[in-house]
Structure 1
Amino acid sequence: MTTLTSLLEKYSKPGPRYTSYPTAPYFHEGFTESDWRAELAASQDPARGLSLYFHIPFCDTLCYYCGCNMVATGDYNKAYQYLDFLDREMAQVATLADPSRLVRQLHFGGGTPTYLRPQDIRRLMGMIRNRFNIAEDAEMGCETDPRELTREHLAALRDTGFNRLSIGVQDLDDRVQKAVNRVQPEGMIKEVYGWARELGFASINMDLIVGLPHQSVESFARTLDKVTAWSPDRLAVFSYAHVPWMKKHQKLILEKDLPGFATRLDLQQLIHDRLGAAGYVNIGLDHFAKPDDEIVRAQNQKTLWRNFQGYTTHKNCDIYAFGASSISQTPDTYVQNEKNVKRYQELVADGRLPVERGLRLTRDDQIRRDAITKVMCDLELDKAAFSATWGIDFDSYFADALADLKPLAEDGFVIVEANYVLVTELGRLFLRNIAMCFDAYLKQPAESGPRYSRTA
């Protein structure tokens, strides 16, 4: 009998998470500021909403596992000044945008957005509202670090319109927390969660990370039991990607302390079992939600979407992203800002849009992105409808993908019929592997491609 653990082992391979297609490593410097200005001018469709993202890169301390673009500093003045550059960047984009377009979604990420003092959270939101037209029912979310977070921070978020919160829990085990330099007692997290509930945040997510040093099935089971008892609306359980060649500070994590491959597989089985038993629905790609959550309803209604902020119910929005390293998106382009904070600020000070690189999608990119999105969000592909939308013959166009899907079908991840490709319940655990079958870039010679984290 084939076990889940043996399937995870069989299909564990490097692969993208598909927050975009083509994925970010294929963005290039040939896409310039002038290209982005032209795209902004040409893409003002009043029927499309806006999704605004603000990258706040600052943190008080360095978490050794971190894969984000961040700056650990005790000099708060850097963050205070950074807000002025965000406002100047917004001013430039706003002059190129249709002022009637409604902001349907807004997100603060980082780094640590709540590194900002409460008065500066209010200050930044004032800047944003001066530049953009935010819908009354906009979905507004912020990532938070429980350490040094006060009730006043959460009150500032609620008072300025935020209705969603994501709390970085990662792991509740003391030994694991010390090994990754993120010590936050269980009582601290429980207090922050209580404040958030009292203040009336409509949806609260908790982030966990699996695969950290010293984690075991027993220790992580205790974390899962405590977290599910708190009953957050959503859970994101990310697999730690140990990429010290990309993130030098990850060398502070001793490889000998990381769980072995067999343990990592057992941890994946544990997550599947415990969260299912606690009543959470596996949306796919490490995301879980309660059955009545709007993200579950959107998946059932086939209106779910995926972008750089993960799964979202706001499909028909262009993303305007502000701050160092942030990524904007229109239907035809991706654009990434300069990653270095100092260089980002220099470009903005010069009156430039701080574009570092980007990509204009080809027709093949758009077709394959649509297929990958349907796999990851709808969990099915209607071949006839897809063919009609794109003016192609599905089976001919995706002959390579259908061939690659055959072994996955044999292992029960997908059902490939004459008219449909259907992801099974088991297949939700292997969405990255299924999507990879449609990825033309992965079929290029390996030596020319990027290095990804493993799918399990």
Structure 2
Amino acid sequence: MSEFLFWDPLLIQRYNKAGPRYTSYPTAVEFKPAVSDADERSAFAQRDPAKPLSLYLHIPFCRHVCYYCGCNKIVTKDTSRSAPYLEILKQEILMKRALLQGDAPVEQLHLGGGTPTFLTDEQLTELMEFLRSQFRFSTAADADFSIEIDPRELRPNTLKLLRQLGFNRISFGVQDLEHKVQEAVNRIQPESMIRAVMLEARELGFRSINMDLIYGLPFQSLETFDRTLDAIVDMSPDRLSVFNYAHLPERFKPQRRINAEDLPDAGEKLAILGHCINKLSEANYHYVGMDHFAKPDDELARAQASGKLHRNFQGYTTHGNCDLIGFGISSISQIGDWYLQNQTTMDGYEEALGLDQLPVMKQLHTSADDRLRRAVISGLLCHLGVDFAVLDQQFGIDSRAALAASLTELEPMVKDELVEISASGIRITERGRLLSRNVCMAFDTYLQQHEQNRFSRAI
């Protein structure tokens, strides 16, 4: 694929409808209530013991509430709440470790939240030592151990400690560097703070640094966001995630503190995105897909170029060959053909573990059709295409016939030269790259069952 991104505002407006981000297929809204932990135990028992592991730990605590946020979090300044949570978390880790046969390596670890750096340096050290006592962590050069940080929640030695504990990648939210915007969303962090974190992280040798930006926030304009982009490009993070702010105050209570009248209108918001794409392309960032940019020498870009990029609940990843094991409230595991989500409230999580049960709340066992469509959606999002012959061999079917209704649904996008369908496969064109999410929606047999306001708009 080229580094050129076709930008046509009228075309994007025409196709810009709400839909999933496809960190899984079927998506989490399809998960069904779990009546017990029996199916999760069965998933562990049937797991290939040689398959490597990706671990996700959810640390839900935040000292401050960011008004745009829709994450599962507990806002508190009471740091004493983390100690009992960590004890319960260790109980879950022990239970699941006992169900894992063999000694498969951990190739990927991610601490997310919430704010993992809400934990004290001592708690972070103890947690990592505990994990290493239970699992064999890979020493391969491409092992990926990452953590989300909040620049406002770093003690003087926190970054140094994280590096010593084995973390080699960090990610943090910037969102916008304009003080007026930061004030409106209750996330004030001066540019000098961000630059200091970047400088220290570089000096400590973190091999990949990701920043999150959000467009569509209150008081943003093309002019103000351009200033933010200038500063970010100058800081030169390895990866950038540029998210569309979806204003859904009926679903996310903190967003009710954002005045809808202060948000940029649709035209301005689209102009911000278009300018952002052009500016990052000029700065030699490769568009990976779905709002994600990476330097050409970053692992994500290299994996995409070599056909080895994957997508799961971690987003784009270079370790899609792993079983994903989630720990903590709301975390999701993907074990073989099973998706399993933990309890989303502290009470439910504690109650299950108090009864010596796995804290599963929802689950889904994928069907053969689900797995076919998951492969198609993953191929489109990661590599802009899929081959029918590969699908035929992988699933033992006539994939073109099985996907006939979806291919028919794509006909308007074919006419608009966004997609090409040939005897050999499906390809998203250069013209259609920014609308890959829309292409995937044609293969989602569940989507018509849901109200559009369950999802954010594609752009």
TM-score, normalised to structure 2, is 0.96
Q: 2:436 maps to which residue?
A: 431
| Structure 1 moving runs of 4+ over 6 Å | none
Aligned residue among 310, 318, 327 for 1:313? 318
Q: 2:3 maps to which residue?
A: none
Aligned residue among 255, 268, 277 for 1:250? 255
Q: 1:124 maps to which residue?
A: 127
Give the stretch that moved more between structures: 413-422 or 47-56: 413-422
Aligned residue among 86, 96, 99 for 1:96? 99
Following superposition of structure 1 onto structure 2, how do residues 30-45 of structure 1 map, counting pairs within 5 Å?
Answer: 30=34, 32-43=36-47, 45=48
Following superposition of structure 1 onto structure 2, how do residues 210-229 of structure 1 map, counting pairs within 5 Å?
Answer: 210-229=215-234
Provide the rounded CA distance (Å) in 1 between the counterparts of 2:7 and 2:189. 36
Provide the rounded CA distance (Å) in 2 between the counterparts of 1:388 and 1:195. 49
- Asked if 1:58 corresponds to 2:66, the answer is no
Give the stretch that moved more between structures: 319-328 or 24-33: 24-33
**What one-letter code is carried by the residue in structure 1 that aligns with 2:14?**
K
Aligned residue among 302, 306, 310 for 1:301? 306
Following superposition of structure 1 onto structure 2, how do residues 328-343 of structure 1 map, counting pairs within 5 Å?
Answer: 328-343=333-348
Structure 1: stretches of 5+ with no match in the other structure: none
Provide the rounded CA distance (Å) in 1 between the counterparts of 2:35 and 2:95. 18
Q: Is the 8 A contact 1:31 1:358 kept in 2?
A: no
Following superposition of structure 1 onto structure 2, how do residues 353-392 of structure 1 map, counting pairs within 5 Å?
Answer: 353-392=358-397
Q: 2:332 maps to which residue?
A: 327
Aligned residue among 260, 271, 274 for 2:279? 274
Q: 2:17 maps to which residue?
A: 13
Provide, for residues 171-202 of structure 1, a one-character-per-residue CA deviation record: whole Å limited to 9, x for no partner. Answer: 00111000000000000011011111111101
Q: CA deviation at 1:31?
A: 5.9
Structure 2: stretches of 5+ with no match in the other structure: 1-5
Q: 1:22 maps to which residue?
A: 26
- Asked if 1:235 corresponds to 2:246, the answer is no
Q: Is the 8 A contact 1:242 1:250 kept in 2?
A: yes
Q: How many residues are aligned here? A: 452
Q: CA deviation at 1:94?
A: 0.5
Q: CA deviation at 1:283?
A: 0.5
Provide, for residues 357-391 of structure 1, a one-character-per-residue CA deviation record: whole Å limited to 9, x for no partner. Answer: 11011111111101101111121111122122212
Q: CA deviation at 1:150?
A: 2.7
Provide the rounded CA distance (Å) in 1 between the counterparts of 2:416 and 2:85. 51
Provide the rounded CA distance (Å) in 2 between the counterparts of 1:30 and 1:119. 36
Q: Is the 8 A contact 2:373 2:443 kept in 1?
A: yes
Provide the rounded CA distance (Å) in 2 between the counterparts of 1:55 and 1:8. 35
Q: Is the 8 A contact 2:330 2:345 kept in 1?
A: yes
Identity of aligned residues (%): 47
Q: 2:214 maps to which residue?
A: 209
Aligned residue among 147, 150, 154 for 1:149? 154
Following superposition of structure 1 onto structure 2, how do residues 392-411 of structure 1 map, counting pairs within 5 Å?
Answer: 392-411=397-416
Q: CA deviation at 1:349?
A: 2.7
**What one-letter code is carried by the residue in structure 2 that aligns with 1:85?**
I
SS in structure 1 opposite 2:138? strand
SS in structure 1 opposite 2:242? strand
Provide the rounded CA distance (Å) in 1 between the counterparts of 2:359 and 2:447. 29
Give the stretch that moved more between structures: 291-300 or 195-204: 291-300
**What one-letter code is carried by the residue in structure 2 that aligns with 1:256?**
E
Q: Is the 8 A contact 2:43 2:336 kept in 1?
A: no
SS in structure 2 opposite 1:192? helix
Q: Is the 8 A contact 1:119 1:156 kept in 2?
A: no
Provide the rounded CA distance (Å) in 2 between the counterparts of 1:142 and 1:342. 25
Q: Is the 8 A contact 1:99 1:133 kept in 2?
A: no
Give the stretch that moved more between structures: 397-406 or 252-261: 397-406
Provide the rounded CA distance (Å) in 2 between the counterparts of 1:426 and 1:234. 23
Provide the rounded CA distance (Å) in 2 between the counterparts of 1:38 and 1:317. 18
C-alpha distance 3-134 of structure 1, shift in aligned 2 (>3 A): closer
**What one-letter code is carried by the residue in structure 2 that aligns with 1:58?**
F
Provide the rounded CA distance (Å) in 1 between the counterparts of 2:305 and 2:176. 31
